[in-house]
Structure 1
Amino acid sequence: MTGISALDRLANLAGIEDGWWDFFGQWRVVPPETKRVFLAAMGFPAATPTEVEASLSVLETRPWRRWIEPVRVLEEGSGAPSLAVALPVAADGQVFSWRLEEELGIVHTGRFRPADLGNGEVREVEGVVLCRRFLSLPALPPIGYHRLVLIGPDGTEAEQSLIVAPMRAYVPPVLAQAPGGWGIATQIYALRTQRDWGLGGYDALAELAEGAATLGASCIGVNPLHALFPNQPERFSPYAPSSRMFLNTAYIDIEAIPEFATCREARRLYAAPAFQAMLGRVREPGLIEYDTAARLSRPILEALFRAFRQSDDQAAFEAFRQAGGERARRFALFEALHERMIEAGTPYWRTWPEDLRRPDAPGVIRFAAEHGERIVFFQWLQFVADRQLGRAHRAGLDAGAAIGLYRDLAVGIAGDGGESWLEQDSLALGVSVGAPPDPLALKGQDWGLLPFNPLALSERAYAPFIAVMRANMRHAGALRLDHAMALQRLYWVPPGLPADQGAYVRYPVDDLFRLVALESRRNRCLVIGEDLGTVPDGFRERMERTGIFAYRVMVFEKENADRFRSSDRFDEQALAIFATHDLPSARAWWQGHDIDRREALDLYPRPGQADEERGQRAHDRVALVTTLVGEGVLPSDFPTTGDLADDRAVQLAAAAHAFLGKSRSRLAMVQIEDVLGLDLQMNLPGTTTQHPNWRHRYPQDVAQILADERLRSLAAGFSARNGRRNLSPSSDDSV
């Protein structure tokens, strides 16, 4: 076998695709060097022919060098399982046994001789002749996580995680049949209240959730709530988190912490004139100053923690710490260590001293022993955040929301954060996730996020993936999977190369879909897959079969060049919304301000493309008006040219939402910026600091938004569609 053919075979076995079709219809061949970089990131060196041959041998023989695979994910109703076992031919006549430990404690056992399993495939590995046969268990265990143990004649054991998943994910009753429900989507940081400290938080979310539910909303959608970088507040993108398994503590409502009312030290800091002056300034509408908000909150949080540790009310906190286990303790350990290393000028853990780069390294163990109380402080922050998020979810449910909070899961993590340090053996270090060129980002995108290593995931029985799902379904009735195609394949970008020089890497799609369905059912959590961009063949059909809702953005739903898709042609098992956080608001879209921004920032790959898009946008405005007029939700004399005046912007947004209310989609969402007729874009793809991404605040506070007649009118329309009464916030009845 030649070096290049061996490389191609190795890449194929690792799931690296040979090429991809770009948006312009051209087949892009993946060069050998890209394959070598990706393979190295997956733990298989391939820089030389010798390394390629060695890695290929390891990957091909790995299933033979162990008795049983580390994990098997099956689907309910698939019948008694038959599991591959690879055992030495020399042991054919010996007696092996197996033990199946069900999740609820029931144990099944059995015995067998390998020779009795029939003929199988034979292979010699490192001088040992092995035969792979199939062991049939008497029956499929129930849905859940089970443990299968294979025991040899000498007592040697091999273990497999045997997981049985439901065929379909959970769908709440409100969405199980027409007409479905509706909800309000927001960016939590954009929310304002009379007592926020410069950005929205969990208390503001609770106020919005309760008020929206009283108006008839089934859910309240929010941006990712993942842990960011409390010691680097300037890193505030919710889609580039330190960890997706823990919460953003910047959203803690400090005044809602019980100790705030009694802690003298905190009250003294709070009452200081300089503090009050700074607090008054950051509460104003406009752009968020994350670093200022952090400077305000950290000293008082530390004072409140000291007061808490002196109180007798520790039981709930200790139970929370126990439930979080070793992963939660290690994340808090990372936060404390990261804080110290930032002070030393080395924030990136891969540049730390060698004995600090892994959670179990000697230096880390010493640090933990010497800084135990600081680690507990970061655990306490998670405890407070978890409690406040739980209250926000409960506030919506108690007020009548059928779903409650609808959370968002980012597609990857920052390469220098806590999760990458904790889970480095499960990640593809040295590459990043992105997207090939598409209409949203014509030069392609490099999101700078680390992906899971698909080969390592199965080796760890998908434990990190399951942990991420569970963490984000906590205190939620729905979960959106950002870039849901990651369940099947991800576009990786080699370091230092343009985003259009990447390649797709396959993931164990059957297993991942089943695990999503299982955790969805366990947590009674609806799953919505954001299936925008380049979608693999059959992916949407798989989502449909699994009960995962699609994501239908109105401005992308066109039947032809002259008309948008009619409301009765929207997918039924879907969430429908006018736009997203990556798109301009309805008013900004109409006026083409997103095009102006991209042109000013040189985000178009060729000259003249901005003018082409302006021409297309003008055409789309006409098509949108034609569609809305045809649906009977917009008057026929609505203009299709010129800027939108305030009253016209409100009229357009109302018509678009009335259209969504008529659509077949079971869940319709409205964005606050569209309800209020605002001209803004929360995030401009392809930018970092060039655009004020994730910094906009709403001009009205939560109470004003809930009382706004535009929202109340919209709620009345949805409630009428859904056969529900539109109750006022003062009503004693529940929706």
Structure 2
Amino acid sequence: SSRRFPDPVHLRIEDVPEYAYVRERTRLDELLKAADALRRSVLDDGELIDRDAVWALKREALEVLHAVPLPPGRREAYCDYLAHRGQALEDHATWCALAERYGSDWTGWPGALRDPRSPATARARRELIDRIDFHTRLAWLTDTQLAAAQRAARDAGMAVGLVHDLAVGVHPGGADAWAQQRTFAQGMSVGAPPDAFNARGQDWGLPPWRPDVLAASGYAPYRGLLRDLLRHAGALRIDHVMGLFRLWWIPRGQEPTAGTYVRYDAEAMLAVLVLEADRAGAVVIGEDLGTVEPGVREALSRRGVLGTSVLWFERDWEGTGRPLPPANWREGCVATATTHDLPSTAARLTGEHVGLRHRLGLLTRPLAEEQAEDAAEVGEWLAYLTRLGLLPEGARGEEGAVRAVYRFLLSTPARMVGVWLPDAVGDRRPQNLPGTWDQYPNWRLPVAGPDGCPLALEDVVASPRLHDLMRVFAPVPDTLAPPVRGPRPRTAPPGARPS
């Protein structure tokens, strides 16, 4: 719904200060039991994550907390937040209040309410002032918990801390599209043309920004968005960073192959990006995967924007086509084995991702042909890792191969290395499968072990497999190191690695 304000579904209710001052706790206790039942349904019964049910419980709990008066100091901080966020916050909270009454897609609301500046909307703001206050309070609470998380990360000695994500777009019926609708191209959707990974192309269902309106506004919506995301972040990952240069526009209702590229003023977009990142002292990471036109990576590199290099894609494409030697990898990148849009390393090693795509009808070639090509690619990489001496426990199977992959990433000159959490516990399912909508439970799968059984956070932290993988990054006794004291760097130092 919004890229400007984080979703309050992520709030930890027990950490809201007003939670301690609720006198009648019967209802809160009932909600806690219901929340635990939801959690057990995932962990014990293997059900999918039901975020709507989670949000219903949290929203009711937050209604109880909202009735608790704010003490003077908290009230002052809340008022400061309201003044700082201004019209953008009021618009966001107004959409939330109207959505409660008329539904979550503003394009289906009564005509006059579709315009955030209409007299009818102004009247609705007055009528719904209590609900608007509720939703502005949620935005404030979420902001304060994000700030606390970043402080905790820095106090623990993390040079970067939280890495926020700039999604490529927003839902066409959501809060941002309503409040900033003149900035978005109506009747258009963002996607990707056919490529080697998805021969049918992709339609993400997100309205693109109009480059002419951005330019006429001095890029104010874009600047404001970056500042919002960088408030409590040590780094910002930009999804589909090529969108700063051009986006694949698809007329709504048409196939992705019917789309075309529309260009943006990349010089202006990059200038605003690096200026805001520098002001925040933050690292910028671009997801430059897929169809990347010539010159994009060079333009990003000149401005200090890191790219994303995925092991399976890094080959000597201009020469032998074999795996690219680690010394030949670029320095200005986050080196990783996979991403949320790709198979986990365990799935890649076992070939399970090919079977999944076959079952969903996403393959464009016979299954046997796809499996043979995939097995040959994996075999080539494993042989190369063995020759480099990175697979000493090769006979021990999948876990040893996963650790060898990360040893390889650490041997590259990449500034940072990304660890995919499911790799640490052997999960074989992708979190998101491009080209699917309701065919696959995207973003509803809890992290699971190799047997597919969901894992609680406590299980993940205690996982021997995770600890074995972490020793690849920090080959020291498995004990907690003392936190780093003293001044903290504002950005990741050269050669930064996770630890």
Paired residues, number? 474
1:269 partnered with 2:14:
no
- The answer as to whether partners of 2:285 and 2:308 remain within 8 angstroms in 1 is yes
Query: Where does residue 30 of structure 1 map in the other structure?
Result: none
Give the Å deviation of 1:703: 4.1
Q: Which has the higher contact order (CA 8 A, sep 6+)?
A: 1
What corresponds to 1:579 in structure 2? 338
Residue 301 (structure 1) aligned to one of 62, 65, 82: 62
**Which residue of 2 is the match for residue 357 of structure 1?**
114
Q: Deviations over 1:53-109 (max 9, x none)?
A: xxxxxxxxxxxxxxxxxxxxxxxxxxxxxxxxxxxxxxxxxxxxxxxxxxxxxxxxx
Partner AA of 1:708 in structure 2: S
TM-score normalised per structure 1: 0.62
- Residue 291 of structure 1 pairs with residue 52 of structure 2: yes
Corresponding residue of 1:340: 101
Q: Secondary structure at the match of 2:334?
A: strand
Q: What is the rounded CA distance, in whole Å, between the counterparts of 1:553 and 1:337 in structure 2? A: 43
- Contact in 1 for aligned 2:155/2:483 (Cα 8 Å): no
The separation in 2 between residues aligned to 1:301 and 1:537, in whole angstroms, is 50
Cα offset for 1:663?
A: 1.0
Q: How far, CA to CA, are the matches of 1:700 and 1:396 in structure 2? A: 24
Structure 1 match to 2:258: 501
- C-alpha contact (below 8 Å) 2:189/2:250 kept by paired residues: yes
For structure 1, which segment, 501-510 or 306-315, has the greater mean C-alpha deviation from structure 2 after superposition? 306-315
Matched residues in 2 for 1:631 and 1:350: separation? 57
Kept in 2, the 8 Å contact 1:485–1:535? The answer is yes
Write the mapping of 1:147-186 to structure 2, written as runs, cut at 5 A.
none
Q: State the distance in 2 between where 1:726 and 1:503 align.
A: 55
Distance 2:88 2:325 in 1: 48
In the alignment, structure 1 segments of 5+ residues that lack a partner are: 1-241, 639-646
> If each structure's strand is expressed as a fraction of its own residues, which one has the higher value?
1
Cα distance change, pair 352–254 in 1 and its aligned pair in 2 (3 A): same
Conserved? CA contact 1:563–1:627, under 8 Å: no
1:335 is aligned with what amino acid?
C
Query: What whole-Å deviation, never above 9, does each CA across 1:286-320 have from its counterpart, x for those lacking one?
Result: 42111221222121110101114587731111111
**Larger radius of gyration between Structure 1 and Structure 2:** 1
User: In the TM superposition, what are the counterparts of 1:253-652 in structure 2 within 5 Å?
Assistant: 253-265=12-24, 267-272=25-30, 276-277=33-34, 279-283=36-40, 284-285=42-43, 286=46, 287-309=48-70, 313-342=74-103, 347-559=104-316, 563-604=322-363, 606=364, 608-635=365-392, 638=395, 648-652=397-401
Contact map agreement 2:330 2:414 (CA 8 A) in 1: yes
1:578–1:670 contact (8 Å) kept in structure 2 = yes
Alignment partners' CA distance in 2, 1:449 and 1:278: 32
Say if 1:524 and 1:275 are closer, same or farther in 2 by CA, change over 3 A: closer
Query: 1:661 and 2:395 equivalent?
Result: no
2:421 is aligned with what amino acid? Answer: I
More helix by share: 2
C-alpha distance in structure 2 between counterparts of 1:280 and 1:354, whole Å: 41
Give the Cα separation in 1 of the matches to 2:393 and 2:36: 49
Deviations along 1:577-597, whole A, 9 cap, x unmatched?
A: 000001111111122222222
Question: Deviation at 1:562?
Answer: 6.7
Unaligned runs of at least 5 residues, structure 2? 448-453, 486-498
Q: Which amino acid aligns with 2:428?
A: D
CA change 1:520–1:732 in 2 (3 A) is closer
Higher mean alpha-carbon deviation, 350-359 vs 479-488, is at 350-359
Distance apart, 1:546 and its partner CA? 0.8
Query: C-alpha separation between the residues in 2 aligned to 1:601 and 1:708?
Result: 31
CA positional deviation for 1:732: 5.9
Map of 2:494 onto structure 1:
none
The residue type equivalent to 1:706 in the other structure is V
CA offsets, 1:238-267, max 9 Å, x none?
Answer: xxxx111110111000111112122134x2
What's the offset of the Cα at 1:275? Answer: 5.8
Q: Whole-Å Cα distance in 2 between the matches of residues 637 and 330 of structure 1?
A: 57
The answer for the alignment partner of 1:718 in structure 2 is 473
* Partners of 1:440 and 1:685 within 8 A in 2: no
Does the 8 Å contact 2:157/2:484 carry over to 1?
no
Q: Relative to 1, partners in 2 of residues 1:598 and 1:671: Cα closer, same or farther, differing over 3 Å?
A: same
Task: State the shift of 1:373 in Å.
Answer: 1.3
Q: Which amino acid counterpart does residue 694 of structure 1 have in structure 2?
A: W
Contact 2:237 2:286 in 1 (8 A): yes
**For residue 337 of structure 1, what is the amino acid of its counterpart?**
L
Deviates more, 1:691-700 or 1:455-464: 691-700
Q: State the Cα deviation string for residues 326-364 of structure 1 (Å, max 9, x = none).
A: 11111111110111112xxxx422232222111110111
Contact 1:715 1:726 in 2 (8 A): no
Runs of 4+ in structure 1 deviating by more than 6 angstroms, as ranges, are none
Kindly indicate whether the alpha-carbon contact (under 8 Å) linking 1:549 and 1:575 is maintained by their aligned counterparts in 2. yes
Q: Does 1:246 align with 2:5?
A: yes
Go from structure 1 to structure 2 and tell me whether the alpha carbon gap of 1:501 and 1:612 turns closer, same or farther (over 3 Å shift).
farther
Does the CA contact (< 8 Å) of 1:592 and 1:614 recur in 2?
yes
Q: Which amino acid aligns with 1:243?
A: S
Q: 1:729 aligns with which of 463, 480, 483?
A: 480
- Cα deviation for residue 707 of structure 1 reads 4.0
Name the stretch that deviates more: 450-459 or 294-303. Answer: 294-303
Q: TM-score, length-normalised on structure 2?
A: 0.90
The residue type equivalent to 2:479 in the other structure is S
- Cα distance between partner residues in 2 of 1:410 and 1:277: 32
1: CA distance between counterparts of 2:446 and 2:394? 34
Mapped to 2, the partners of 1:281 and 1:331 lie a distance apart of 29
Cα distance change of structure 1 residues 732 and 481 upon mapping to structure 2, 3 Å threshold: closer
The one-letter code of the counterpart of 2:398 is: A
Q: Give the Cα separation in 2 of the matches to 1:260 and 1:245.
A: 26
Partner in structure 1 of residue 437 of structure 2: 688
SS at match of 2:3: strand
When residues 363 and 593 of structure 1 are mapped into structure 2, their CA distance, relative to the original with a 3 A threshold, is same
CA contact (8 A) 2:112 2:118 kept: yes
